[in-house]
Structure 1
Protein backbone atom coordinates (compact mmCIF):
# COMPACT_ATOMS: atom_id res chain seq x y z
CA UNK A 1 0.00 0.00 0.00
CA UNK A 2 1.37 3.41 -0.96
CA UNK A 3 1.56 6.03 1.79
CA UNK A 4 0.28 9.50 1.08
CA UNK A 5 0.94 12.73 3.01
CA UNK A 6 -0.36 12.89 6.60
CA UNK A 7 -0.51 9.12 6.94
CA UNK A 8 -3.39 8.74 4.43
CA UNK A 9 -2.99 5.96 1.88
CA UNK A 10 -4.82 4.53 -1.09
CA UNK A 11 -8.20 3.10 -0.20
CA UNK A 12 -8.22 -0.70 0.32
CA UNK A 13 -11.55 -1.96 -1.03
CA UNK A 14 -10.93 -5.70 -0.83
CA UNK A 15 -7.95 -7.98 -0.33
CA UNK A 16 -6.56 -7.36 -3.81
CA UNK A 17 -8.13 -4.06 -4.87
CA UNK A 18 -6.78 -0.67 -3.77
CA UNK A 19 -8.13 2.63 -5.08
CA UNK A 20 -5.20 5.00 -5.70
CA UNK A 21 -5.11 8.53 -4.25
CA UNK A 22 -5.45 10.03 -7.73
CA UNK A 23 -8.98 8.64 -8.10
CA UNK A 24 -10.24 10.18 -4.85
CA UNK A 25 -11.45 13.76 -4.76
CA UNK A 26 -11.67 15.71 -1.51
CA UNK A 27 -13.55 18.94 -0.83
CA UNK A 28 -13.35 20.89 2.40
CA UNK A 29 -15.89 23.23 3.93
CA UNK A 30 -16.88 24.70 7.26
CA UNK A 31 -18.27 22.17 9.66
CA UNK A 32 -21.32 22.62 11.87
CA UNK A 33 -20.01 20.13 14.40
CA UNK A 34 -17.77 20.55 17.48
CA UNK A 35 -14.88 22.99 17.46
CA UNK A 36 -15.89 26.05 19.46
CA UNK A 37 -14.98 29.37 17.92
CA UNK A 38 -12.60 27.64 15.53
CA UNK A 39 -15.51 26.02 13.74
CA UNK A 40 -16.26 29.38 12.11
CA UNK A 41 -12.78 29.72 10.60
CA UNK A 42 -11.58 26.19 9.83
CA UNK A 43 -12.57 24.08 6.84
CA UNK A 44 -12.75 20.82 8.81
CA UNK A 45 -15.72 19.16 7.06
CA UNK A 46 -14.60 16.69 4.38
CA UNK A 47 -16.47 15.43 1.33
CA UNK A 48 -14.74 12.46 -0.27
CA UNK A 49 -15.89 11.59 -3.80
CA UNK A 50 -15.00 8.54 -5.87
CA UNK A 51 -16.02 8.05 -9.50
CA UNK A 52 -16.92 4.37 -9.46
CA UNK A 53 -18.30 4.26 -13.00
CA UNK A 54 -15.03 5.29 -14.69
CA UNK A 55 -12.51 3.88 -12.22
CA UNK A 56 -9.68 1.90 -13.79
CA UNK A 57 -8.50 0.42 -10.49
CA UNK A 58 -11.54 -1.83 -9.99
CA UNK A 59 -11.94 -4.94 -12.18
CA UNK A 60 -14.95 -4.88 -14.50
CA UNK A 61 -17.05 -7.70 -12.93
CA UNK A 62 -16.55 -6.22 -9.45
CA UNK A 63 -17.36 -2.70 -10.71
CA UNK A 64 -20.60 -3.92 -12.32
CA UNK A 65 -21.62 -5.60 -9.04
CA UNK A 66 -20.75 -2.47 -7.04
CA UNK A 67 -22.65 -0.18 -9.43
CA UNK A 68 -25.71 -2.41 -9.11
CA UNK A 69 -25.60 -2.58 -5.32
CA UNK A 70 -24.87 1.13 -4.81
CA UNK A 71 -27.22 2.50 -7.47
CA UNK A 72 -29.31 4.30 -4.83
CA UNK A 73 -26.27 6.16 -3.48
CA UNK A 74 -24.63 7.06 -6.78
CA UNK A 75 -25.01 10.36 -8.61
CA UNK A 76 -23.73 10.09 -12.21
CA UNK A 77 -21.67 7.05 -11.21
CA UNK A 78 -19.98 8.90 -8.33
CA UNK A 79 -20.29 8.11 -4.62
CA UNK A 80 -19.78 10.86 -2.04
CA UNK A 81 -19.16 10.45 1.68
CA UNK A 82 -18.91 13.34 4.11
CA UNK A 83 -17.46 13.55 7.61
CA UNK A 84 -17.70 16.41 10.09
CA UNK A 85 -17.83 14.69 13.47
CA UNK A 86 -14.24 15.53 14.46
CA UNK A 87 -12.64 18.89 15.21
CA UNK A 88 -9.68 18.46 12.88
CA UNK A 89 -9.66 18.16 9.14
CA UNK A 90 -7.23 15.24 9.24
CA UNK A 91 -9.45 13.21 11.58
CA UNK A 92 -12.45 13.91 9.33
CA UNK A 93 -10.41 12.86 6.28
CA UNK A 94 -9.60 9.55 7.96
CA UNK A 95 -13.23 9.06 9.02
CA UNK A 96 -14.49 9.73 5.47
CA UNK A 97 -11.97 7.27 4.01
CA UNK A 98 -12.91 4.57 6.53
CA UNK A 99 -16.58 5.06 5.72
CA UNK A 100 -16.01 4.96 1.96
CA UNK A 101 -13.79 1.86 2.25
CA UNK A 102 -16.49 0.12 4.31
CA UNK A 103 -19.25 1.00 1.81
CA UNK A 104 -17.17 -0.10 -1.20
CA UNK A 105 -16.00 -3.26 0.58
CA UNK A 106 -19.55 -4.34 1.37
CA UNK A 107 -20.64 -3.66 -2.22
CA UNK A 108 -17.68 -5.62 -3.59
CA UNK A 109 -18.37 -8.85 -1.73
CA UNK A 110 -19.79 -11.54 -4.01
CA UNK A 111 -23.34 -12.75 -3.48
CA UNK A 112 -23.69 -15.91 -1.40
CA UNK A 113 -24.17 -19.20 -3.25
CA UNK A 114 -27.72 -19.84 -4.38
CA UNK A 115 -29.63 -22.18 -2.07
CA UNK A 116 -30.77 -25.40 -3.70
CA UNK A 117 -34.32 -26.33 -2.76
CA UNK A 118 -34.68 -29.69 -1.04
CA UNK A 119 -37.72 -31.71 -0.05
CA UNK A 120 -38.45 -32.32 3.62
CA UNK A 121 -37.76 -35.87 4.74
CA UNK A 122 -40.60 -38.23 5.63
CA UNK A 123 -39.41 -38.28 9.24
CA UNK A 124 -39.44 -34.49 9.53
CA UNK A 125 -42.94 -34.33 8.04
CA UNK A 126 -44.21 -36.96 10.48
CA UNK A 127 -42.60 -35.17 13.45
CA UNK A 128 -44.19 -31.89 12.37
CA UNK A 129 -47.64 -33.45 12.06
CA UNK A 130 -47.28 -35.24 15.40
CA UNK A 131 -46.30 -31.94 17.08
CA UNK A 132 -49.36 -30.30 15.54
CA UNK A 133 -51.63 -33.09 16.81
CA UNK A 134 -50.22 -32.92 20.34
CA UNK A 135 -50.51 -29.14 20.39
CA UNK A 136 -54.09 -29.40 19.19
CA UNK A 137 -54.87 -31.92 21.97
CA UNK A 138 -53.30 -29.63 24.57
CA UNK A 139 -55.42 -26.68 23.45
CA UNK A 140 -58.58 -28.76 23.18
CA UNK A 141 -58.04 -29.83 26.79
CA UNK A 142 -58.16 -26.19 27.88
CA UNK A 143 -61.79 -25.83 26.83
CA UNK A 144 -64.74 -25.42 29.19
CA UNK A 145 -65.92 -28.40 31.10
CA UNK A 146 -69.51 -29.29 30.31
CA UNK A 147 -71.55 -31.20 32.86
Structure 2
Protein backbone atom coordinates (compact mmCIF):
# COMPACT_ATOMS: atom_id res chain seq x y z
CA UNK A 1 0.00 0.00 0.00
CA UNK A 2 1.36 3.44 -0.89
CA UNK A 3 1.85 6.26 1.58
CA UNK A 4 -1.27 8.43 1.75
CA UNK A 5 -0.86 11.94 0.39
CA UNK A 6 -2.08 14.79 2.61
CA UNK A 7 -5.31 16.33 1.36
CA UNK A 8 -6.19 20.01 1.71
CA UNK A 9 -8.10 20.74 4.92
CA UNK A 10 -11.12 23.00 5.26
CA UNK A 11 -10.10 25.70 7.74
CA UNK A 12 -13.70 25.94 9.01
CA UNK A 13 -13.46 22.35 10.30
CA UNK A 14 -10.32 22.99 12.34
CA UNK A 15 -10.00 24.08 15.95
CA UNK A 16 -6.58 25.37 16.87
CA UNK A 17 -5.17 25.89 20.36
CA UNK A 18 -1.76 26.94 21.62
CA UNK A 19 0.09 26.16 24.82
CA UNK A 20 3.58 26.22 26.26
CA UNK A 21 5.73 23.41 24.93
CA UNK A 22 8.10 21.37 27.04
CA UNK A 23 11.64 20.17 26.53
CA UNK A 24 14.64 21.95 25.02
CA UNK A 25 14.31 25.44 23.63
CA UNK A 26 15.17 27.58 26.62
CA UNK A 27 13.49 30.88 27.31
CA UNK A 28 11.58 30.82 24.01
CA UNK A 29 9.80 27.57 24.93
CA UNK A 30 9.11 28.75 28.47
CA UNK A 31 7.64 32.14 27.49
CA UNK A 32 5.99 31.60 24.08
CA UNK A 33 3.04 29.30 23.41
CA UNK A 34 4.65 27.28 20.61
CA UNK A 35 2.84 23.93 21.02
CA UNK A 36 -0.01 23.71 18.51
CA UNK A 37 -2.96 21.37 19.02
CA UNK A 38 -5.15 21.01 15.94
CA UNK A 39 -8.54 19.26 16.14
CA UNK A 40 -10.65 18.23 13.16
CA UNK A 41 -14.20 18.91 14.40
CA UNK A 42 -16.15 16.48 12.13
CA UNK A 43 -14.02 13.45 13.09
CA UNK A 44 -12.70 14.50 16.49
CA UNK A 45 -9.14 13.60 15.43
CA UNK A 46 -6.44 15.69 17.02
CA UNK A 47 -2.69 16.24 16.59
CA UNK A 48 -0.32 18.11 18.85
CA UNK A 49 3.03 19.43 17.56
CA UNK A 50 5.93 21.01 19.44
CA UNK A 51 8.79 19.99 17.15
CA UNK A 52 10.13 23.45 16.36
CA UNK A 53 10.70 26.54 18.45
CA UNK A 54 8.43 28.58 16.19
CA UNK A 55 4.66 28.60 16.42
CA UNK A 56 4.32 29.12 12.65
CA UNK A 57 6.45 26.06 11.91
CA UNK A 58 4.44 23.96 14.36
CA UNK A 59 1.17 25.18 12.81
CA UNK A 60 2.37 24.08 9.36
CA UNK A 61 3.51 20.69 10.69
CA UNK A 62 0.23 20.18 12.55
CA UNK A 63 -1.79 20.78 9.38
CA UNK A 64 0.41 18.37 7.40
CA UNK A 65 0.14 15.66 10.05
CA UNK A 66 -3.62 16.06 10.44
CA UNK A 67 -4.10 15.86 6.65
CA UNK A 68 -1.93 12.71 6.55
CA UNK A 69 -3.88 11.21 9.47
CA UNK A 70 -7.21 11.87 7.73
CA UNK A 71 -5.90 10.42 4.45
CA UNK A 72 -4.59 7.30 6.22
CA UNK A 73 -7.94 6.91 8.02
CA UNK A 74 -9.82 7.17 4.70
CA UNK A 75 -7.46 4.68 3.05
CA UNK A 76 -7.94 2.19 5.93
CA UNK A 77 -11.73 2.57 5.72
CA UNK A 78 -11.59 1.98 1.96
CA UNK A 79 -9.37 -1.08 2.42
CA UNK A 80 -11.74 -2.48 5.08
CA UNK A 81 -14.69 -2.05 2.70
CA UNK A 82 -12.81 -3.84 -0.10
CA UNK A 83 -11.88 -6.68 2.27
CA UNK A 84 -15.51 -7.03 3.40
CA UNK A 85 -16.70 -7.22 -0.23
CA UNK A 86 -14.05 -9.83 -1.03
CA UNK A 87 -14.97 -11.92 2.01
CA UNK A 88 -18.64 -11.85 1.02
CA UNK A 89 -17.74 -12.82 -2.55
CA UNK A 90 -15.66 -15.77 -1.32
CA UNK A 91 -18.47 -16.93 0.97
CA UNK A 92 -21.07 -16.85 -1.81
CA UNK A 93 -19.10 -18.58 -4.55
CA UNK A 94 -20.19 -22.15 -5.37
CA UNK A 95 -18.23 -25.08 -3.97
CA UNK A 96 -15.97 -26.90 -6.41
CA UNK A 97 -17.27 -30.28 -7.69
CA UNK A 98 -14.54 -32.27 -5.90
CA UNK A 99 -15.36 -30.65 -2.56
CA UNK A 100 -19.07 -31.34 -3.03
CA UNK A 101 -18.34 -34.99 -3.90
CA UNK A 102 -16.18 -35.45 -0.80
CA UNK A 103 -18.83 -33.77 1.35
CA UNK A 104 -21.58 -36.10 0.04
CA UNK A 105 -19.35 -39.16 0.49
CA UNK A 106 -18.72 -38.22 4.12
CA UNK A 107 -22.46 -37.89 4.68
CA UNK A 108 -23.09 -41.31 3.11
CA UNK A 109 -20.42 -42.89 5.30
CA UNK A 110 -21.89 -41.32 8.43
CA UNK A 111 -25.40 -42.43 7.45
CA UNK A 112 -24.24 -46.03 7.02
CA UNK A 113 -22.60 -45.96 10.46
CA UNK A 114 -25.78 -44.63 12.03
CA UNK A 115 -28.03 -47.09 10.22
CA UNK A 116 -26.17 -49.98 11.89
CA UNK A 117 -27.21 -48.72 15.31
CA UNK A 118 -30.49 -50.54 15.60
CA UNK A 119 -31.83 -52.62 18.46
CA UNK A 120 -30.56 -56.12 18.65
CA UNK A 121 -33.44 -58.55 18.01
CA UNK A 122 -33.73 -61.57 20.17
CA UNK A 123 -35.14 -64.56 18.37
1:93, distance to aligned residue in structure 2 (A): 0.8
Q: Deviations over 1:26-78 (max 9, x none)?
A: 0000000332211111000000011125xxxxxxxxxxxxxxxxxxxxxxxx1
Matched pairs, number: 82
Tell me, in whole angstroms, the C-alpha distance in 2 between the residues paired with 1:48 and 1:21.
11
Q: Distance in 1 between matches of 2:35 and 2:64?
A: 15
What is the match of residue 113 of structure 2?
none
Q: TM-score, normalised by structure 1?
A: 0.48
Q: Deviations over 1:73-126 (max 9, x none)?
A: xxxxx121100111100111111111111111011121235264799xxxxxxx
Q: What stretches of structure 2 of length at least 5 have no aligned partner?
A: 1-5, 96-123
TM-score relative to the length of structure 2: 0.56
Does residue 97 (structure 1) correspond to residue 63 (structure 2)? The answer is yes
Structure 1 runs of 4+ aligned residues shifted over 6 Å read none
Aligned-residue Cα RMSD (Å) equals: 2.4
| 1:44 and 2:58 correspond | no
Structure 1 portions without partners, runs of 5+: 1-11, 54-77, 120-147
Bigger Rg, structure 1 or 2: 2
Partner SS for 2:24 = coil
Which has the larger share of helix?
A: 2
